[in-house]
Chain A
Amino acid sequence: MIKKRKIAQAEIPTSSMADIAFLLLLFFLVATVIDVDTGIGLTLPEYVEKPEEVVVDKSRMAAILINENGDVLVDGIPTSVFQIKNNLKPRIESKIELPSNKKLIISVKTDRKTTYNPYVQALDQIKLAYFEVRDEYSQGNYGSKFNDLALEEQDVVKDKIPIIISLAEPEAVKK
């Protein structure tokens, strides 16, 4: 007679798996840093030992000067920081249809003693002016905001309205 053997079922207890998973989940939830880095992006020019002197047509230039007290000059006229945007917008708009070598160049110049905050405010205003012009141009030609356009359309708009910012070196005189 053959005895029926009981086969012991080997099982791993899985009831606590959910707990373990929850614990890990909590750890990663707490450790995750979600805050995105935000800021004003720029691309610096390459470093050259002796920069060439390039003569630029005065009508292409918008010179922004910021002194150590945070006062702003736009093309020699005293302006408040928050007026820079309104000042630049019509000038950018007037150059949309011009060829790429006639677009507006914005030069930002500071003293060595200028604080960082007004400089960032001025850059912010410039960027805002460009973004608004781009948005309006996209709205008029493609019917939606710049950020919602297809990539090729964005390239066309970027080509029409390039952001050219020149950061002049501060004068060392007031060191």
Chain B
Amino acid sequence: MKFEKRRATTKQEIPTASMPDIVFMLLLFFMVTTTLREVEVLVDYKLPEAEAIEKIENKRLISYIWIGKDKRIQINDSIVKLEEVQTIMYSKRQDLPNVIVSLRIDRNSDMGLVTDIQQELRKAYCLRINYSTNIKI
């Protein structure tokens, strides 16, 4: 007498025909959400920490200003002087009327410099600012 294993006769394969569709969908999602990093940060900085922080929802509205440990100011791709901040930011504001300026300032900078930059921003009518901080755990 011959024994036969009882096996289901149905196919035991995962259907892979729709895999490209799924992959394309993921691909599209990432393509849409990606904002490629265009600037290279030239200054060295360490952000302060805070608890009551807010997220900036719209990444495309943000314009950054960095202040490094050595008190250098960076906007876009270059180191700028304090007097140049106003003109640069004013032209930025004309491209993006509701620009949010994210200030990435080293935690040991002097408030004098920070206030000077804020005054320049006020003159350039960039009034929405955000002190960039890390979350305190």
- Residues of A whose CB lies within 8 Å of any CB of B are 14, 17-18, 21-22, 24-25, 28-29, 31-33, 36-47, 110-117, 119-121, 123-124, 127-128, 131, 167, 169-170, 175
**CB < 8 Å: which of A45, A110, A121, A131 contacts B111?**
A110
- Residues of B whose CB lies within 8 Å of any CB of A are 19-20, 23-24, 26-27, 30-31, 33-37, 48, 50-56, 59, 62, 100, 102-103, 105-112, 114-115, 118-119, 121-123, 125-135
Q: Is the CB of A121 within 8 A of B50?
A: yes
**CB < 8 Å: which of A38, A45, A175 contacts B133?**
A38
Q: Interface of chain A, helix or strand or loop or mixed?
A: mixed
Q: How many A-B residue pairs have CB under 8 A?
A: 150
Complex Cα–Cα for A41 and B100 (A): 9
Q: How many Å from the CB of A17 to the closest CB on chain B?
A: 5
Complex Cα–Cα for A117 and B19 (A): 51
For B130, the closest partner residue in chain A by CB is A39
Q: Is the CB of B106 within 8 A of A39?
A: no
Q: How many Å from the CB of A108 to the closest CB on chain B?
A: 10
Complex Cα–Cα for A124 and B119 (A): 21
Q: Is the CB of A114 within 8 A of B34?
A: no
Known contacts A32-B33, A32-B34, A116-B48; A175 and B135 CB within 8 A of each other: no
Q: Is the CB of A39 within 8 A of B111?
A: no
